[in-house]
Each structure stands twice: as structure tokens, then as C-alpha cells.
Amino acid sequence: MLRALALSLTLFLPLAVKAEAPSASDLLQQMAHASRSLDYQGRFLYQFGAEVSTMDIRHAVIDGKEYQRLTHLDGRLVEVLRRGDEVLCLHPDGSLTRLAHDQGGPFNLGERLARDVPEQYNVLVDGDSRVAGRIATVLRVAPLDTHRYGYRLWLDDDSHLLLKSETVDGSGVALERVEFVTLALAPRLSQSDFAAPPSSHENALQEVPGNTPDAHLALEAQWLPGGFEAMQEDWRRSEKNRAPVAAQGYSDGLATFTVFVEAVSDGSVEEGVSRVGPTVAVSRRLTAPSGAYLVTLVGEIPQATAERVIGNIRVHDNRH
């Protein structure tokens, strides 16, 4: 009787353990909650293409309000400070720029993944590893086609914080990497750790209203990779005293790119392709019945995808 009971426990115990293991979706939700709710401080490496920089991060929730300070530790001293809905960029000359919204920063990928993983990706638990001396669970976000990059994530087993992330190409080569090298949980942080120094002046971001008389260009993408949809169209000024540039963003929920179009008066504009890390920029001159335009795509998608998209962009001038 005892032998039969022992045998039954041996058979069913592994099944119980597997049933309790969190799914990839559960792990992503735990990661997002941890990044917003925990107090932590550390240093991490940020690799973008061949460039590597070191940054310091402080994060805390004080009186129900989320605070974060990102500080560049090499090169020019630049800081990004978030206090609730307020986002400030502090510059080396003592000036600051008040940003309209949070740009996300190096850990934006984790937030995007936690919201919803598009159907064009498959998320898999890919074993265990160690980052900054801490045991981590590895997740792999694999694209189901060649029109977007994949991602790898390392989640702290104890706190569920994102310890490391990589954006990888089709060969598995890391194009962008964020990796903690030191991490302290529950540090004693106060509002003074997120104070902005006295500013010499504040830079104003120039708004271009949507009803500007020059806002007459309309973009049409005749081919997009599956899952990509147009986001809200906006207008931006590239330089002083220049006409607004039409800017149309596209996203599949993870990857994003933006198409810029501006009218040109001669054939001196430069076409070309450049890549830094996962970001590609492709510029092409387009001739339409209404005139000549410079079309530029900038985003985190493979070069072949970017060139196919920009080759199928059409421009309409609503004045004609």
C-alpha cells in the first residue's frame, strides 16, 4: 500500500510542478508590473550597433507617484527625469527640455511586450541564465516572417525585473542590447534623488498645428508587412524657415517606423541607405504629377523590408 502511494506521488508530482510554472504571457505581465512598482537602482550597458554606453538608473514609487532618473555616465552628461506625467531632458549646458510624453527609454521594449504580443510573433520560454549575478528566465520573441526583428529577454526570477534585452536579426545577431551590470533592490530613494537642478533656460518644442496651410501632403503606403498599421499622422519642422514635413508612423505593436515626405525643388537631394544597430534609414526621390518629393523611412525593421515599403509609397498633393 505504501509502495503504491509512493509510486503515485512520483508519477503525479512532475505534472503538478509543470502546471504551476508561469506561462510566457504571465512572465511578461509580472515583468511589466515589477518595472512600474518596485524601487531599484543600478547600472546597465546600452549597446546600439557598435556603440556601447554606460547608464545609471534610479526608480521609485513615492506617495503613489512613479519617479525615474536615467543618467549617461560616459560622453556628455545627459539625464532624463520622469516624475509622474512630467518628463524632462537635462542637457550639459544646464538647460532642460520638457517632453510632451515619455519616450520609453532603453526599457521601452519590455513595456511594449507586456501590453500585447502581436500575432506575428511567437513567445517562448527558453531556459535559465544569469545576469548581474542573478538567476534569470530567458524568453524568446520570435517573428513568424522576415519582415521584423526578434527579441530576447532575461527576467529576474526573484523580482521579475527585466535584467537584459536584445533586439536580434534573422541570424540571431544582437543589434541592440540593454544589460544590467549592478542592481540593488529596495534602495532608500527619496524625492531629492529625482530633483531637477536649477536650469539656465528651458527649450521649447515647436508645435506644427495640423491645420497649417502647408499641411497638404497625403501619404499612401501601397504595401505594408502583415500586422503593421498606420498611426496618427503628424507634421514636423526639420529646420528653421523650412516648410513642414509630413510624418506618418506605422507599427505592428512592437516594431515601428516612420515615413517622412517633403517637397523638393531640384534634383540635388541625396538618396541612400544607412544603418545603426536595428535602426535603418532609407531615402528615395519620388516624382509625382504634383511635383518632386524626398521620401525617407526611419525605423527598426530589416533593410529589405524598409526598401520594399518605401518603393510602394505614393504621395498625393491635396491642392492639385
CATH number of the domain enclosing 307: 3.30.200.100
Q: Kindly state whether residue 8 falls inside one of the protein's structural domains.
A: no
Among 154, 174, 203, where does a domain finish?
203
The confidence score (pLDDT) of residue 198 equals 79
Q: Kindly state whether residue 167 falls inside one of the protein's structural domains.
A: yes
216, amino acid identity: H
Burial readout 28-53 (b: 16 or more C-beta within 10 A, e: otherwise)? bbbbbebbeebbbbbbbebbbeeeee
Which DSSP letter does residue 271 get? P
Nearest alpha carbon to residue 286 among 305, 306, 260, 304: 260
The confidence score (pLDDT) of residue 228 equals 96
The answer to which of 11-25, 26-40, 41-55 has the lowest mean pLDDT is 11-25
Q: Show the cell assigned to 136.
A: 534569470
**178 and 79 belong to one structural domain:** yes
Confidence label for 50 from pLDDT (cuts 50, 70 and 90): confident
CA angle 208, 214, 216 (to 5 degrees): 110
**81 and 182 belong to one structural domain:** yes
The confidence score (pLDDT) of residue 92 equals 84
Q: Kindly state whether residue 5 falls inside one of the protein's structural domains.
A: no
**105 and 66 belong to one structural domain:** yes
pLDDT tens readout for residues 54-95: 999 999 999 999 999 999 999 888 899 999 988 988 888 888
pLDDT tens readout for residues 221-269: 999 999 999 986 555 544 444 555 788 999 998 999 999 988 887 666 7
**222 and 184 belong to one structural domain:** no
The confidence score (pLDDT) of residue 214 equals 47
The confidence score (pLDDT) of residue 268 equals 66
Q: Check if the beta carbon of residue 115 is closer than 8 Å to that of residue 92.
A: no
The confidence score (pLDDT) of residue 117 equals 87
**113 and 246 belong to one structural domain:** no
Q: Check if the beta carbon of residue 46 is closer than 8 Å to that of residue 177.
A: yes
The confidence score (pLDDT) of residue 163 equals 96
The confidence score (pLDDT) of residue 247 equals 86
**247 and 177 belong to one structural domain:** no
Higher pLDDT, 112 or 305: 305
The confidence score (pLDDT) of residue 94 equals 82
Q: Kindly state whether residue 165 falls inside one of the protein's structural domains.
A: yes
**136 and 235 belong to one structural domain:** no
Q: What percentage of the chain exceeds 70 in pLDDT? A: 80
Confidence label for 216 from pLDDT (cuts 50, 70 and 90): low
Q: Kindly state whether residue 224 falls inside one of the protein's structural domains.
A: yes
Number of domains within the chain: 2
The confidence score (pLDDT) of residue 239 equals 46
Using a 10 angstrom Cβ sphere, with 0-12 exposed, 13-18 middle and 19 or more buried, the burial of residue 217 is buried
Cα dihedral across residues 209, 210, 212, 216: positive or negative? positive
Among 172, 203, 234, where does a domain finish?
203
User: The cell 544607412 sits on which residue?
Assistant: 274
Q: Whole domain around residue 294: which residue ranges? A: 217-317
Q: What is the mean pLDDT of residues 102-108?
A: 67
